[in-house]
Amino acid sequence: MPPEVNAITDLTEAERERILAKTARFAPPPAVLADGRRELVGLSREELAEALVEAGEAAFRAKQIWHWIYNRGATDFSVMSTIAKPTQAKLAERFVIGRPEAAVVQTSTDKTRKFLFRFRDGQEAETVYIPEEDRGAVCISSQVGCTLSCRFCHTGTQALVRNLGAAEIVGQFMAARDSYGEWPSPRGEAPRLLSNIVLMGMGEPLYNYENVAKAMKIVMDGEGIGISRRRITLSTSGVVPMMDRAGAELGVNLAVSLHAVRDDLRDEIVPLNRKYPIKELMAACRRYPPASNARRITFEYVMLKDINDSPADARELVRLISGLPAKVNLIPFNPWPGSRYETSTPDAITRFSNIVMDAGFSSPVRAPRGQDILAACGQLRTETRRERKGAEAAPPV
Ligand code: SAH
Ligand code: SF4
């Protein structure tokens, strides 16, 4: 291994600790309601068994209840026909199976559906369902707001309010599924509608790693929702030290928000680059464990007119990703009220895409979805107030 890669790896443990400590103060609210009942969604299998044993139930109930919650989509103990009525009643006194409240649901003319979910403490985040012909992806938020302020992103104009908890992350998917009635989870075959998950909504998933990881382990569990890691894509703006961990522990597909191929420009439009520059980011991609020809890393590249869309940029992009199992996703910039950029011209996008394709990389242009309801990439933002004083002043971690 070249020495500079070693140096990065050596830093990793300390960096991880620092990131986790800094984001801890943005923790989600506890899973116990005002009436003392405990939320079961978002608990790991082990935690669910412990909670049931504490309540005087046999540990084997965890398997039954897990099935009802995550395979059947039950939100009420009274439908759990494999559990005796008196036990159902006892469980209902101690526990709840919640969903975030769908405060606003809008469906675009192209059938994209955007949900504004309200959580127990009143904080809100957006989730988008993007249907395709024989499948569909749920684009999930990981934080309310974002500490990173990428210049072209609407979410980035909203300071981080807080991290979402595992229950809230899984809950977005489950509530979206409720909306399409796609329960029980189909066995052995991919669901028809909500088949994929993309962690590309509001927030930086690798700055809320613990909750995102817990939520993804729940949705991947084969006795519940059962979505394969191959159908989950985590998008990061490049939190290098956490990429190794996500790859090793979750094994999901990786998307990297590259957007610029020179450090001077990337420093400006993706400010996290000042901390983890392109060279380190590309090294982390090269060692991302799950990547292979069958599971390529997606490089997301927002097309900004006259900023990052020249043929020279395209050629440098090809140089950066050469030798990697990679594909490039060109995203025409989606404007939002007050945004300062323009979308590249169709000619510039085609020219750029052709250079990347001629070098052997797939380079589709992502068609904007749900633009009429501001549901396209980078348009998500909520008007929620900041929960804690000082959150706005929090430095990017
Ligand atoms: N924070 C993560 C995931 C959420 S953003 C990340 O940055 O990767 C999902 C994708 O939308 C990212 O690639 C992001 O850069 C892109 N994006 C943000 N604002 C956009 C806009 N206005 N138009 C097009 N894409 C945008
Ligand atoms: Fe945050 Fe991603 Fe938006 Fe950047 S692009 S501000 S990391 S949500």
Residue 280 among the catalytic residues: no
Q: Which residues pair with 297 in a beta bridge?
A: 326
Which pLDDT belongs to residue 13?
67
Cα of 157 to ligand 2 centre, how many Å?
A: 9
For residue 235, how many other CB atoms are within 10 A of its CB?
A: 22
200 lines ligand 1 (CB under 6 A): yes
160 lines ligand 1 (CB under 6 A): no
Query: Which residues, given as ranges, of the chain have pLDDT below 70?
Result: 1-13, 15-25, 186-190, 378-397
Domain boundaries, the chain: 38-96, 101-373
288 lines ligand 1 (CB under 6 A): no
CATH fold group of domain 101-373: TIM Barrel (3.20.20)
Residue type present at position 320: L
356 lines ligand 1 (CB under 6 A): no
Name the class of domain 38-96. mainly alpha
Nearest CA to ligand 1 atom 3: 200
Which pLDDT belongs to residue 102?
95
Atom of ligand 2 nearest to the CA of 235: 2
Which pLDDT belongs to residue 30?
80
Which pLDDT belongs to residue 368?
77
Cα of 117 to ligand 2 centre, how many Å?
A: 19
205 lines ligand 2 (CB under 6 A): no
Q: Tell me the pLDDT tens digit for each residue of 3-46.
A: 333 333 445 667 666 666 666 667 787 888 889 999 999 999 99
Residue 377 among the catalytic residues: yes
For residue 1, how many other CB atoms are within 10 A of its CB?
A: 9
Given 146, 153, 285, 377, the catalytic residue: 377
Q: Tell me the pLDDT tens digit for each residue of 304-323.
A: 999 999 999 999 999 999 99
| This prediction's pTM | 0.90
Which pLDDT belongs to residue 384?
43
Nearest ligand, measured from the Cα of 212: 1
Given 126, 168, 204, 300, the catalytic residue: 126
155 lines ligand 2 (CB under 6 A): yes
Cα of 380 to ligand 1 centre, how many Å?
A: 10
